[in-house]
Amino acid sequence: PALPRKNQAAEEDTVDGLLHHHRRRRRTSFSSSSEMEASTVAALYPAHRCKTVYLVRHAQGFHNAAEESDIIDHTSPALLDAQLTPLGWSQVDCLREHVTKSGLAKKIELVIVSPLMRTMQTAVGVFGGGNYTDGVSAPPLMVEGAENSGRQPISSLNCPPFLAVEACREKLSVLTSDKRSSITRYRTLFPAIDFSLIKNDEDVLWGPDVIETDESVVARGMNLFDWLWTREEKEIAIVTHCGFLYHTLNTYGKGCHPTVAEELGKVFANCELRSMVLVDRSKLGSDTSRYNFAGKIPAGLDMPSDVADKKQAEEASKN
């Protein structure tokens, strides 16, 4: 029935008001959307083209402690392949407690470590399997009292595999602390670390007059991260050095927002851990995700089975 003219006018006013309010909300929404598009920096990437990398600088070594003195001879034989100080081992214990309580220890599938004493001590102390028990068939990650450390042996059970890689060594210089010992010696101290990727028993990279360029450090750092795509592990810890991390991460930061670049470029403290997402923008890690699921499986006609069978028989007779 027709509304009285007065009521009809009131309703028209109400409808006009609602339409005006709706248009205004739409304009506001579009405006907010435009602002959001202008400020949004988030991005999506397929999960199977990403890895999580946990970067760790070694704990305090004797060469780090010596740097705090006014006079230090960095070429001293006493600093050769420097091991961890007692404070350094305390830092290891603190980081181990953190990765255990946070659940990170159970996520890591591989530990890559620079083949120097301080990095291997840090790696096995943080990510190793705990105290070693005599009579266990598996070899220990570190033998008791390695390098007069006074530490208990560390088990290789209930922990990820450890792989020594020279590509993540510290920037080569005249410092004796950056010269490694022989692999033969390391194998007696760290029986469960895999040294198979290291070709030379003695250190052929270090020399008293060798000073590696920053560009060389960056090149091997980026090659190392590219090499990770040949591995199937998705959660990888890398225990390495301050200079290696500084030069490599600063290079990656050049293509990032200034805030991110600043974060990447910060110097690592001793025994500091930072997590990073490594993204494959090429075809290096082209394996499909084990979690992806192709729709419409099992394949077939979306109709009753008797009708589908008849339809398929008809299609088969035409072929």
72-121, pLDDT tens digit by residue? 677 788 899 999 999 999 999 999 999 999 999 999 999 999 999 999 99
Superfamily of domain 54-279: Phosphoglycerate mutase-like (3.40.50.1240)
CB count in 10 Å sphere of residue 241: 21
Residue type, 33: S
CB count in 10 Å sphere of residue 273: 18
Strands lying side by side in the sheet with 235-240: 162-164, 110-113, 235-240, 50-57, 273-279
Asked if 147 and 121 touch (Cβ cutoff 8 Å), the reply is: yes
Three-state secondary-structure class, residue 163: strand
Catalytic residues: 58, 170
| Domain ranges within the chain, ordered by starting residue | 54-279
pTM listed for this prediction: 0.79
**What does the block give as tokens for 256?**
């990032």
Cite the DSSP H helix spans in 115-213.
Answer: 117-127, 183-189
Give the pLDDT band (50/70/90) at residue 30: very low
Give the pLDDT band (50/70/90) at residue 304: confident
pLDDT tens track for 283-295: 666 567 777 777 7
Most confident of 36-40, 78-82, 150-154, 180-184: 180-184
Residue 34: its pLDDT value, please? 52
Tell me: pLDDT of 315 over 90: no
